[in-house]
Amino acid sequence: MKQSSKKISTGTAALYCRLSRDDNMDSESNSIQNQKKILQKAAKDKGYTDTIFFVDDGITGTTMKRPGFQKMIAAIEAGYISAVFVKDLSRLGRNYIEVGKLTEEFLPLHDVRLVAVSDGVDSDEGEDDFTPFKNIMNATLS
C-alpha cells in the first residue's frame, strides 16, 4: 500500500460527472454541463491543471457498472489519477456499501484524493465523520 501524502496540484485530477434519467433533466444545477464547470473550477482552485473528464449521462447511480466510472477506476488502478472531483457524493453512486468501499478503501489504497465539492469533502483536509451517513442517505434517496 502506498503511503498517504498531501497532494497539492500533483498529477492528474479525474472530474467525474453523472446524471441519471431519474434526475431532473431540466435542472441546470444537476446538468452535466454545469457539473463540468463546477468541477473544472474546483480542480483549478486546488491547483490541478491536468484534468480529465469521465462522464455517465443518463445512467443510474444504483449500479457501479457505468462506462465512464469504470474507465475512471481503470485509470486510477493504472496510476494515472491522483485526485477525484465530484459535485457531490451521490454522483459517485447511490449504493452506500459500494461507495463506502470506494471512499474508505479503494481511493486511499491508491493514494487518491477525493473532493466532493457541494458536500465539503476533501480527503486531504481530514476525515469527514458524516461521509458514511451521506452515503446511506444517498442510497435511501435513490
Structure confidence by residue, pLDDT tens digits, 14-38: 999 999 876 555 555 569 999 999 9
Answer whether 17's CB lies under 8 Å from 39's CB.
Answer: yes
Question: What pLDDT, on the 0 to 100 scale, is given for residue 10?
Answer: 67
List, for residues 112-142, the tens digit of each pLDDT value.
999 999 999 999 987 555 444 444 443 444 4
DSSP state of 38: H
**In the block, residue with C-alpha cell 477525493:** 114
For CA atoms 119, 124, 73, 131, the dihedral sign is: negative
Question: What pLDDT, on the 0 to 100 scale, is given for residue 125?
Answer: 86
Mean pLDDT of 87-106: 93
The mean predicted confidence, pLDDT, of the chain is 83
Confidence of residue 3 (pLDDT cuts 50, 70, 90): very low
Domains identified in the chain and CATH numbers = 12-140 (3.40.50.1390)
Question: What pLDDT, on the 0 to 100 scale, is given for residue 142?
Answer: 43
pLDDT at 102 over 80: yes
- pTM here is 0.80
In the chain, the percentage of residues whose pLDDT exceeds 70 is 75
